[in-house]
Structure formats: structure tokens, C-alpha cells
């Protein structure tokens, strides 16, 4: 009997890649999305990769009745909750928007999980919960630091909601995956990142500069205490990241969790500086990028990368793609979008 996974935010960047991997691993997937931050490009891409339509429900997870109806209609074995706002800067300007959307939508998921007598809940968390880490690489035992934005606060709070609900409500089990920096696109170039307006994140800004949509990439700071002075991150390929979700869901539905609430870092363990990433992009794609050094961006941490050994051992998952392969995929996607 096939298991059914509900993917909230399934039309987005991460949700669409996870949907593809889940279906290819033999799961039935129900996609739900309010399309507030995307169009149907990725949904259509998912259907063409898989060669069939998937159940798609346009709905807002802040509507508790709608979430309960969804759970009543489909026999949901696991829910993966991606539906959330994610722009760090905007969350500082509009905290209420972030608190209302990101917290309420997850509370509704947990409420539905509880009222149907339990469910496996996978929460999409972030390395942002570690703040500026004292020790590198960070393990799941590294302390969470006070969040530097309301966006980061919502990630911490939702982790706590999940932990507490698992403790209180029988049958509710949870995994939080803490992503480092997801980048890239599906090798088919049919799904990928679709930022609205000016991208906040590095790789979409790089690809849009390379294609000519942006004039020049600003590298935010080259006076950090790192080898080349630019910040270091753990860039994780989006397909590798998606596969970690399949491993986590399978661990839950097969009853192989060691504790009812578990946390895993999803990263490569490989720090890459901004300049190294730009150089790798230029080299693998055979082009020159227009960039300049600009002032530091407020709120950026100097360096953060994962110790992914817990996920390697417990989930049987490992990041496989090189940063070059991933940057080639990101560029293929940008060209696909531009019709080139
Ligand atoms: C941010 C969020 C993270 C979220 C991720 C989504 C924080 C502190 N960070 O990570 O939670 O999961 O986005 O992908 O909450 N950079 C430039 N020029 C640019 C853009 C970025 O130099 O135009 C640099 C930044 O200074 C940083 C690196 O590139 O050093 C990565 O930035 P970005 O892609 O925005 O990700 P994070 O800030 O690491």
C-alpha cells in the first residue's frame, strides 16, 4: 500500500524538488500551496518530469478549516511543511506578516495531526537557528542562538511547537531538518528557484547577472576574518536536499525513529566562500561575471557550515553533487527560464 505525503508549499523551490523525489521513490504526493510567492511553473515542471498530473490543492494553511478538511479527505501518512515566507529582510520590516503566516500555518498542521490521532510531521527548518556559531562545524547539539530576524524566530518557534506537540499528543512524531544554503536546480532544468523581484540570495543573483537581468553582483564584504575575506557557507544541492526528505519520511513511516522528535542538519560539511562560489560558477560555465565588492550586509554571519554526520549515519543520506555540478544546473535553469 502506497503511503501518502502531503507537501505544503509544494509549488515552491524546495517543495517541487522534494515532490519529484518522493514520487520517484514510490510515494503518493498531495501538493497544497496558496501560490502567494510563485506561479505554476514549478508545478508544471514537476508534472512533466513525472509524466503525469499530481493532486494539487490551492489553499492557505492559515485557514484551519481548510487544513482539517484536507486531512479528512486524504489519508495522510506524513506531512512536510514548507509553506512559509522566507525573506529575512522583509521579516524585519513586517514581523507581524511573518509571525501570522509562518506560525499559524504550522499550528494548523499540528492541530490537524493531533485531531486525526497522530501523524508524521516533517518541518522545514534552517541553519539560521544557530545564529553566529561559536564552534564550526555545527552539530545538532550546538546551541541555538537568539535569532537575528523574525524569520529566524519563526523557525525556532516552529521547532519548539513540534517538539512540544510530539511530547504531548500520542501518535504525533516529528523531524526538523535544518537546511544550510540550498542552491541549484533539477538536472532536467524543468524546475528551479523562481525569486520574485530582486533576488536576496546569492545564487539567483549570480545567474540573473550572468543572463543580463542584473547589471552587477555585489559581494557583501571582503573584510571578514576568512581566508579571502568573504563569508563562508555550506551550499547544498537542491536535489541532494530533496533526497534527505525522502530518507526522513521513510524513517518516520517505517517506524525507525530513535526518538519521537529528531533534528538533522542537512548540509555538505564543505565551507565555500562567496568568492570561491563566484569563481566556480565562472569556471564551470565558461563565462565572466560582472561583480564588485560592496559593504557588508547587516545580519550576515561570518561563517557557518554543517557537521552532517548524524544525517549520514541515521538517515543513510549524504550530499553527493559537487558545487560545480550544482552551479551548472543553476545556470541551465536560468537559461531555460530565459528561453535560451
Ligand atoms: C539566508 C538565511 C537563511 C535561509 C537562506 C535561504 C539568515 C541569516 N539567512 O541565508 O536562513 O535559509 O537565506 O536560502 O537567516 N551575498 C552576496 N551578494 C548577494 C547575496 C548574497 O555577497 O547579492 C552573500 C551573503 O553576504 C552571504 C552569502 O552570499 O555571505 C549567502 O547569502 P544568501 O544566499 O542570502 O544566504 P544566507 O544569508 O546565508
Closest ligand 1 atom to residue 151 Cα is 15
183 lines ligand 1 (CB under 6 A): no
Chain CA centroid to CA 163, Å: 20
Q: Whose CA is nearest to atom 18 of ligand 1?
A: 219
Is 151 part of the annotated catalytic residue set?
Answer: yes
To test ligand 1's pocket by mutation, which of 9, 37, 86, 88 has the most ligand atoms within 8 angstroms of CB? 88
Torsion of Cα atoms, 60 then 63 then 69 then 75, to 10°: 60
Cα–Cα distance for residue pair 26/4, rounded to 1 Å = 10
Instruction: Give distance in angstroms: CA of 71 to centre of ligand 1.
Output: 35
Residues in the chain: 340
Contact 14, 82 (CB under 8 A): yes
37 lines ligand 1 (CB under 6 A): no
Burial class (CB in 10 A: 0-12, 13-18, 19+), 306: buried
185 lines ligand 1 (CB under 6 A): no
To test ligand 1's pocket by mutation, which of 183, 230, 300 has the most ligand atoms within 8 angstroms of CB? 300
Torsion of Cα atoms, 140 then 111 then 118 then 257, to 10°: 0
Q: What angle do CA 222, 223, 224 make, to 5 degrees?
A: 100
pLDDT digit of tens for each residue in the chain (340 aa)? 899 999 999 999 999 999 999 999 999 999 999 999 999 999 999 999 999 999 999 999 999 999 999 999 999 999 999 999 999 999 999 999 999 999 999 999 999 999 999 999 999 999 999 999 999 999 999 999 998 899 999 999 999 999 999 999 999 999 999 999 999 999 999 999 999 899 999 999 999 999 999 999 999 999 999 999 999 999 999 999 999 999 999 999 999 999 999 999 999 999 999 999 999 999 999 999 999 999 999 989 999 999 999 999 999 999 999 999 999 999 999 999 999 7
Q: What is the pLDDT of residue 286?
A: 98
Instruction: Give distance in angstroms: CA of 203 to centre of ligand 1.
Output: 9
Instruction: Give distance in angstroms: CA of 157 to centre of ligand 1.
Output: 21
Contact 265, 309 (CB under 8 A): no
Cα–Cα distance for residue pair 177/264, rounded to 1 Å = 5
Cα–Cα distance for residue pair 113/165, rounded to 1 Å = 10
200 lines ligand 1 (CB under 6 A): yes
Kindly state the DSSP code that residue 303 receives in the 8-state scheme. B
Instruction: Give distance in angstroms: CA of 232 to centre of ligand 1.
Output: 10
Instruction: Give distance in angstroms: CA of 66 to centre of ligand 1.
Output: 34
Instruction: Give distance in angstroms: CA of 268 to centre of ligand 1.
Output: 16
91 lines ligand 1 (CB under 6 A): no
Strand locations in the chain (E): 4-8, 28-33, 56-58, 78-81, 119-126, 172-179, 181-183, 217-220, 232-233, 235-237, 261-266, 272-273, 291-294
Cα–Cα distance for residue pair 207/224, rounded to 1 Å = 24
Q: What is the pLDDT of residue 50?
A: 98
Q: What is the pLDDT of residue 67?
A: 98
207 lines ligand 1 (CB under 6 A): no
8 lines ligand 1 (CB under 6 A): no
Q: What is the pLDDT of residue 325?
A: 98
Closest ligand 1 atom to residue 152 Cα is 15
Q: What is the pLDDT of residue 340?
A: 72
Instruction: Give distance in angstroms: CA of 201 to centre of ligand 1.
Output: 5
Q: What is the pLDDT of residue 148?
A: 87
Among the options 130, 151, 179, 224, which is catalytic?
151
To test ligand 1's pocket by mutation, which of 202, 229, 291, 306 has the most ligand atoms within 8 angstroms of CB? 202
Report the predicted TM-score, pTM, of the whole model to 2 decimal places.
0.98
Closest ligand 1 atom to residue 181 Cα is 14
Amino acid at each position: 500500500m502506497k503511503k501518502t505525503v502531503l507537501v505544503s508549499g509544494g509549488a515552491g523551490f524546495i517543495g517541487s524538488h522534494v515532490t519529484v523525489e518522493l514520487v520517484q521513490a514510490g510515494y503518493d504526493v498531495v501538493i497544497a500551496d496558496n501560490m502567494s510567492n510563485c506561479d505554476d511553473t514549478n508545478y508544471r515542471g514537476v508534472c512533466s518530469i513525472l509524466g503525469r498530473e499530481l493532486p494539487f490543492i490551492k489553499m492557505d494553511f492559515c485557514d484551519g478549516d481548510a487544513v482539517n478538511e484536507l486531512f479528512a479527505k486524504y489519508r495522510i501518512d506524513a506531512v512536510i511543511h514548507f509553506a512559509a515566507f522566507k525573506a529575512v529582510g522583509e521579516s524585519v520590516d513586517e514581523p507581524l506578516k511573518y509571525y501570522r503566516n509562518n506560525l499559524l500555518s504550522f499550528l494548523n498542521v499540528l492541530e490537524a495531526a493531533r485531531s486525526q490521532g497522530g501523524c508524521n510531521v516533517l518541518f522545514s527548518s534552517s541553519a539560521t537557528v544557530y545564529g553566529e556559531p561559536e564552534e564550526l562545524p555545527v552539530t545538532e547539539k550546538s546551541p541555538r542562538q537568539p535569532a537575528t530576524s523574525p524569520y529566524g524566530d519563526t523557525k525556532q518557534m516552529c521547532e519548539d511547537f513540534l517538539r512540544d506537540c510530539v511530547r504531548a499528543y500520542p501518535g504525533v512524531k516529528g523531524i526538523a531538518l535544518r537546511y544550510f544554503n540550498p542552491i541549484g536546480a533539477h538536472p532536467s532544468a524543468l524546475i528551479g528557484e523562481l525569486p520574485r523581484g530582486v533576488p536576496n540570495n546569492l545564487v539567483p543573483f549570480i545567474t540573473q547577472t550572468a543572463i543580463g537581468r542584473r547589471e552587477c553582483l555585489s559581494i557583501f564584504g571582503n573584510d571578514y576574518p576568512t581566508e579571502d575575506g568573504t563569508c563562508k557557507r555550506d551550499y547544498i544541492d537542491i536535489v541532494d536536499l530533496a533526497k534527505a526528505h525522502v530518507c526522513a519520511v521513510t524513517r518516520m513511516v517505517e517506524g525507525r525513529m530513535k526518538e519521537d522528535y529528531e533534528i538533522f542538519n542537512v548540509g555538505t560539511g564543505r565551507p565555500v566562500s562567496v568568492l570561491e562560489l563566484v569563481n566556480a560558477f565562472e569556471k564551470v560555465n565558461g563565462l565572466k561575471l560582472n561583480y564588485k565588492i560592496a559593504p557588508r550586509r547587516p545580519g550576515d554571519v561570518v561563517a557557518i557550515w554543517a557537521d552532517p554526520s548524524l544525517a549520514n549515519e541515521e538517515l543513510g543520506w549524504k550530499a553527493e553533487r559537487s558545487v560545480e555540478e550544482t552551479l551548472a544546473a543553476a545556470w541551465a535553469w536560468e537559461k531555460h527560464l530565459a528561453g535560451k
